[in-house]
Amino acid sequence: MKRIVVVGGGYSGFYAAWNLEKTLGPDEARITVIDPRPYMTYQPFLPEVMAGSIEARHAAVSLRRHLKRTRVIAGQVVRVEHARKTVVIRTTDGDDLELAYDLVVVTAGAVTRTFPIPGVAENAIGMKHVEEAVAIRDTLLTAFDRASVLPPGAERRRLLTVTFVGGGFSGVEGFGELLSLATGLLRSYPELTPADLSFHLVEAAGRILPEVTDGPGRWVVRNLESRGAHVHLSTQLVSAVDGHVVLSSGEEFDSELIVWAAGNAANPVVARNTDLPVDERGYLVVGADLRVGPRDAPVADAWAAGDDAAVPDLAADLPGRRTVPNAQHAVRQGRHLAMNIAAVLRGRPTKDYVHPSLGVVATLGVGHGIFQYHRIVVKGLPAWLMHRGYHVLAVPTWERKVRVLAGWLSMGVFGRDIVSLANVQHPRDAFVRGGAPD
Ligand SMILES: Cc1cc2nc3c(=O)[nH]c(=O)nc-3n(C[C@H](O)[C@H](O)[C@H](O)COP(=O)(O)OP(=O)(O)OC[C@H]3O[C@@H](n4cnc5c(N)ncnc54)[C@H](O)[C@@H]3O)c2cc1C
């Protein structure tokens, strides 16, 4: 009986464990998944969670509910000591405990890349986790409530100014969805007008959405600008102290909400706290069959996949490329890794991971989207419908698909829920004050 430990139950880890359960018998392996969040976050839904089109809980896929034969430990792996075949886990209570394994699968994903820009750590928020998406939504909804009782002026303008930093996939999707929510909210706030909204997307490069070619990228900019947004290309955020945004172009404005979506960095635990080989950027070195280590000298009993691994892209035109860090690869690598582990345990050869891209599809807010597959480009409503169709099929398990679809259908009939639940951050206030004014 092999003890298989999976570090991280996100996309790759969840699919690896799920497929290990299906492939290996209970007498062949005992599987353990360790993750501080005992759920897989379906990150492509976060922009719609922010916009209130998807219920927050529906973007979180419970590991315990769906991994029937797997032990789930809620904790953070703080060290992988492969020489001792042991992981050190910090539990949610802060205690460290050791867990021995025969085989380790490292699928801890990446973290949000940050830069030491004054004011960002104090004022900005990321968009990689469910709680961030919920907080972004509540902040915008609360800002509408506050702005609606103010006369036109600087404070009202500040409250309704939103800044996204990063014009990659997640930044553009989040920006488009939040813009869609804000525009829709105006119907319920007769005190406010479209001119009160100020949405800024800041991107250091000369174009957004590097995943699509130049023409569709320019169309996305035009789409956002036609809906009232300001897209700042070739521009960097210089400072965000006290929510006062200063751009490298010289523009300055106050912004109630600053969302940081400027890409990924290596997971620090993987980059620094393991004796497994990592590359110069802190990503695990893996061969094409997803075994850790160089192709000609794999490390025994260590596997990795997803955003924390530098996986050779055998489908790329040019040699030496790595697979793009996205869900398309993470899911398939998780499954592939499970198949290869089963092969090795049964004395069979492994297979290389090869996956040509299926194209890119992004939401830009309700009714707006972009899809590209080689030279085929679909824009607007059809692309948005493709986005929804693709993701409702892609979210794991029927239980999740039904919940998400039911949410979309009820939103189609009744509209979005537009109430801020920001008070959940202070749940005892009403009880303690007993109705007394602040
Ligand atoms: C807003 C947003 C939208 C996106 N939209 C798309 C899209 O439309 N299409 C697409 O293809 N991709 C999309 N992506 C990218 C995609 O979600 C990621 O590439 C994918 O999640 C990577 O999977 P992973 O398993 O490597 O990492 P993750 O899914 O991030 O999972 C990593 C897991 O490891 C856990 N973990 C981290 N550190 C530790 C530790 N020390 N110990 C234990 N556990 C740990 C984390 O809690 C997490 O559960 C989007 C990403 C974001 C943020």
Q: How many residues are present in the chain?
A: 438
For atom 37 of ligand 1, the residue with the nearest CA is 108
CA distance 23 to 70: 13
HEC assignment per residue over the chain: CEEEEEECCCHHHHHHHHHHHHHCCCCCEEEEEEECCCEEECHHHHHHHHCCCCCHHHHEEEHHHHCCCEEEEEEEEEEEECCCCEEEEEECCCCEEEEECCEEEECCCEEECCCCCCCHHHHEECCCCHHHHHHHHHHHHHHHHHHCCCCCCHHHHHHCEEEEECCCHHHHHHHHHHHHHHHHHHHHCCCCCHHHCEEEEECCCCCCCCCCCHHHHHHHHHHHHHCCCEEECCCCEEECHHHEEEECCCCEEECCEEEECCCEEECHHHHHCECCCECCCCCEEECCCCEECCCCCCCCCEEECHHHEECECCCCCCCCCECCCCHHHHHHHHHHHHHHHHHHHCCCCCCCCCCCCCCEEEECCCCCEEEEECCEEEECHHHHHHHHHHHHHHCCCHHHHHHHHHHHHHHHHHCCCCCCCHHHHCCCHHHHHCCCCC
So what's the pLDDT on residue 436? Answer: 86
CA distance 83 to 32: 19
Atom of ligand 1 nearest to the CA of 47: 1
Structure token digits, residue 249? 């172009």
Structure token digits, residue 50? 């922010």
Atom of ligand 1 nearest to the CA of 39: 49
Ligand 1 pocket, Cβ-based, cut-off 6 angstroms: 7-13, 34-37, 43-44, 46-47, 76-77, 107-109, 127-128, 169-170, 173, 267, 269, 306-308, 325-328, 330
| Ligand 1 mean position, distance from CA 11 (Å) | 6
Contact, 189 vs 148, CB < 8 A? yes
Q: Whole-model pTM?
A: 0.95
Question: Which residues of the chain are modeled with pLDDT < 50?
Answer: none
CA distance 212 to 364: 14
- For 267, 323, 365, 434, the CA distances from 263, given in Å and listed in that order, are 13, 16, 21, 45
> pLDDT tens for residues 142-178?
999 999 999 999 999 999 999 999 999 999 999 999 9
User: Which residues have C-beta within 8 Å of that of residue 188, sequence separation ≥ 6?
Assistant: 418
> pLDDT tens for residues 360-389?
999 999 999 999 999 999 999 999 999 999
Q: How far apart are the first and last CA of the chain?
A: 61
Atom of ligand 1 nearest to the CA of 78: 41
CA distance 222 to 285: 40
State the burial class of residue 413 (Cβ atoms within 10 Å of its Cβ: 0-12, 13-18, 19+): exposed
User: Which residues have C-beta within 8 Å of that of residue 19, sequence separation ≥ 6?
Assistant: 334, 335, 338, 339
For atom 15 of ligand 1, the residue with the nearest CA is 326
| Ligand 1 mean position, distance from CA 110 (Å) | 7
